Structure 1
């Protein structure tokens, strides 16, 4: 696996809007944001302009620690979508983060068939040709090594 922060992104690029621009700018600074509502105290992800729990607009950015655990995942062995053609076999999954939400992401791992639910992962940022950084999660080198 590559050294941290040296990943190349070859997939589709995000479309940004005024609501999501702060999230993508934070990614370019290698910070992953979720949000916390000042009115109800709930944490949310995906990034948006209002609280999905109480509809308040009193939300604030909450950078995550970067740690997480695989909650579920799928190994994609064949994908006929042209935008994913370069990926070959890859893993997509749901990551449970300590801040209280689950994040859908690509999971980078040396051997997809050794990944297990509960394995430790850490956020990293892959760089697209445009310079935009895309969050991905990387499986811990020590997780599942003996499987």
Structure 2
């Protein structure tokens, strides 16, 4: 997993709750957490207290490799929202991580027009003004 930090994050910053704090704390350490259910064995993301497949509360955290492929994406050319308008154009992608879970995130670095379905990416992090690290994806080196 890449622990490189991209330029500062200027978009919305997620709110950490007692339930999601372990995920956000791991991001601050350069680790992207997924969860595995100890009852049904399935992997899940986004981070939560219960298994989204069987509702068990026996879920365990594990570090993702951060490696994946773009499953689908959109290049955003217009957005007047402060914190996003200065990034235009940018890519929002649905990334399929190793392990089969899909994660929404920005795909950064390089030309947005070069991103395609199947592009190999890896997780990276950007630092928000409050110090929180925000996970993003960058095109993986070939």
Ranges in structure 2 where 5+ consecutive residues have no aligned partner: none
CA contact (8 A) 1:109 1:115 kept: no
Q: Is the 8 A contact 2:120 2:139 kept in 1?
A: yes
Instruction: Name 2:128's counterpart in structure 1.
Output: 128
Q: Which residue of 1 aligns with 2:52?
A: 52
Unpaired runs of 5+ in structure 1? 143-147
How much does 1:88 deviate? 1.9
Q: What SS does structure 1 have at the residue aligned with 2:56? A: coil
Q: Which residue of structure 1 aligns with residue 19 of structure 2?
A: 19
Alignment: residue pair count: 140
* Residue of structure 1 equivalent to 2:86: 86
Q: Return the offset for 1:87.
A: 1.5
SS in 2 for 1:50: coil
Q: Residue 32 of structure 1 aligns with which residue?
A: 32
After TM superposition, give the deviation of residue 141 of structure 1 in Å.
4.6
Equivalence for 1:108: 108
Mapped partners of 1:134, 1:87: distance in 2: 15
Q: Distance in 1 between matches of 2:93 and 2:32?
A: 17
By how many angstroms is 1:80 displaced?
1.8
CA distance in 2, matches of 1:79, 1:44: 30
Q: Structure 2 length normalisation: TM-score?
A: 0.93
Relative contact order higher in (CA < 8 Å, ≥ 6 apart): 2
Q: Does residue 1:98 correspond to 2:109, yes or no?
A: no
Query: Residue 22 of structure 1: SS of its match in structure 2?
Result: helix
Q: Give the equivalent residue in structure 2 for 1:77.
A: 77
How far apart, CA to CA, are the structure 2 residues paired with 1:108 and 1:6? 8
Contact 2:66 2:98 in 1 (8 A): no
Q: Do the aligned partners of 2:33 and 2:61 also contact (CA within 8 Å) in 1?
A: yes
